Structure 1
Amino acid sequence: MKGFWANKRVLVTGGTGFLGQALCRLLDGQEPAYWAAPSRTDYDLCHSEEAAKLLADTEPDTVIHLAAQVGGIGANQQRPADLYLNNLLMGTNIIEQCRLAATDRLVVVGTICSYPKHTPVPFQEEALWTGYPEETNAPYGIAKLAQLVQLQANRTQYQQQGIFLMPTNLYGPGDKFHPTVSHVIPALIKKCVDAVEQGQSSIQVWGTGTASREFLYVDDAARGIMAATEHYRGAEPVNLGTNREIVIKELVDNIAETCRFDGRIEWDTSQPDGQPRRCVDTTRAKKLFGFEATTEFKKGLELTYEWYIANRQQAEALHSWD
């Protein structure tokens, strides 16, 4: 892999975010000729002129677009318009500016939130257009899906060869633990750690516990992105995942054990479960660029917990942008 990256000039948007930091750690080890991971305070990609300036300043031949405004179920319920518009604008601007600059390689990272709510499990890429996404995730998911449409349209009209990847739910060191923006694993780790520290005999968890999710360790996702950047040039979207799902109730039990919490789990069934099941088919990723996840789930949980304990202040800071 190092030979491919050695002479590259690489730009990672969202490089200071959760996935971006993991990708940049791997990228740094490949010693490219140049790479940059500017923050949103440097360039606001919601504005086309700033996206243009970013590409002019960095002159990349490879762009990996990770920048996003993100959040859990609560954020999706409270700020759906922000999540739709800001993610749509950032993706649209980066894709268009890469086209104008004739950037050699463009990788856009989407989301499995784009899949229809009742997609048969495991999710196959062909099912993307068979229905409407789960309602709380729809604005974010559709904004990301629009970027796939733009990439495919540009490929037809301008021969721009951008690729589109869809990682499943990510977890790992560096995740967001603030309650406003955290997803299920960091939210539950924080809840269990707080309960242990405060001597609580129970914790409350949203939903019924019957939904299922698939989780991909962030370093595995970064490896998948790098493999796709090097080996894949096709028009079709590609899932990144583990092809293994876990029921939320089992997930909560695993996290409680990892965090040394032995109290009761109380389910707040008045709150939504979100999409009933999520698990992706990873056949295409393995076939097209040889990607398979390698991190065992409980090991990844332990590493995430240990990072959180060692970095509480950083982990709990409020950052809604990647």
Structure 2
Amino acid sequence: QNSGDYDCFYFVADWHAITSEYASTQDIRNNSVNMVIDWLAAGLDPGKSTLFVQSAVKEHAELFLLLSMITPLAWLQRNPTYKEMQAELSSKDLSTFGFLGYPVLQAADIIMYKAYGVPVGVDQLPHIELTREIARRFNYIYQKEVFPVPEPLLTSVPKLLGIDGRKMSKSYENSIYLSDRGKELSQKVASMFTDPQRMRKKDPGDPDICNVFTFHGLYSSAEDVAEINQACRVAGIGCIDCKKMLAARVEEALAPVHERMDYYQRNVQEIYDIIANGNKQATAIAGATLAEVRDAIKI
């Protein structure tokens, strides 16, 4: 956003939420507002980026429908994320068309805005590859280069595990949220898994396999990271002290985020206005893209 190199679009994927939470939708609207609050608190600027809610831009549903016509069923069935999520959410009945077609809707979300780059974690790479295949297939079938083939944009830490060492997931209750602060934040950091082979403080550790050290790489200074790296390997610092240091660094980094979060929670009308404006901007662009799609298909 701040580089000036990209036209950025961020949307609340409320339709995606329904694919697994179709029987419990009572919180979706409120969660959508809270997500936008989190974005703004973290630094997204509606003057530089388009922020909108997926379900407010009906063109996404039509493009999803049209893409589903050309997407081979086998592509969806062999998607590793589909199998992983079924196992992760085994307590729910996910044998639905909507859940299986989740990646096609995601593809529609991405290529609707002719994205060249998509910021994702490594767990989403299979979905991005499927999006690339769908874009290529559409362009080939209709002999018109309507959609660019998007590339994944990975950060320096493309995968951040949950506090229990598993994939960070709301269903696992192992996430550290932007809104976490004070005692809640400290308790979560204190419970984080570390080097499983380091049983005692006097044992040397291996930061390369320690999730706490990965978090330090995000929140601590380069000097602190270097010191922790060296000290851990020679048992010069214990896991408890390392976690206390991390909790302090995270609290410090999130302080301005919490300040902005508190402001927007007191001024929710601003959020509604930002969403309404973003919905309008996104609808205009999506409408133009869909017109190209219809022209290519000849409908």
- Same fold per TM (> 0.5)? no
**If you compute each CA radius of gyration, which structure gives the higher value, 1 or 2?**
2
Q: TM-score, normalised by structure 2?
A: 0.37
Q: TM-score, normalised by structure 1?
A: 0.35
Which structure: greater helix fraction?
2
Which structure: greater strand fraction?
1
